[in-house]
Amino acid sequence: MKIKANGNEVQIEREMTIFEMLDVLNVSMKEYVTVQLNGQIIPRSEYDKVTVKEGDEVEFLYFMGGGLL
């Protein structure tokens, strides 16, 4: 099935949870990533409950800090 991940079309074998998808797509720094599914930020506590389905759009977001004041 096809989904869109960070703007790129990606093929995955089946519907899966966000937690599973992070592994399948080899997302780096999984412990720091925020997932947006179809325009909605998904709480980390829901990663093992929310399912990614055909046609979904997923964005992996990393919030950076730093700089000088």
pLDDT digits (tens, 9 = 90+) for 11-38: 999 999 999 999 999 998 888 999 999 9
Q: How confident is the model at residue 9 (pLDDT cuts 50, 70, 90)?
A: very high
- Say what percent of the chain tops pLDDT 70: 96
- Is residue 35 included in any domain, yes or no? yes
- Give the pLDDT confidence score for residue 65 in this predicted structure: 73
Domain containing residue 44: CATH number: 3.10.20.30
The answer to whether residue 22 sits within a structural domain is yes
Domain membership flag for residue 7: yes
Q: Is there a domain that residue 26 lies in? A: yes
How many domains is the chain built from? 1
Per the domain annotation, does 18 fall within a domain? yes
Distances (CA, A) of 16 to 4, 28, 50: 14, 18, 8
Residue 16 lies in a domain: yes
pLDDT of residue 17: 97
Structural domain range at position 48: 2-62
- Radius of gyration of the chain from its Cα atoms, rounded to whole angstroms: 13
The Cα 31–Cα 38 span in angstroms is: 21
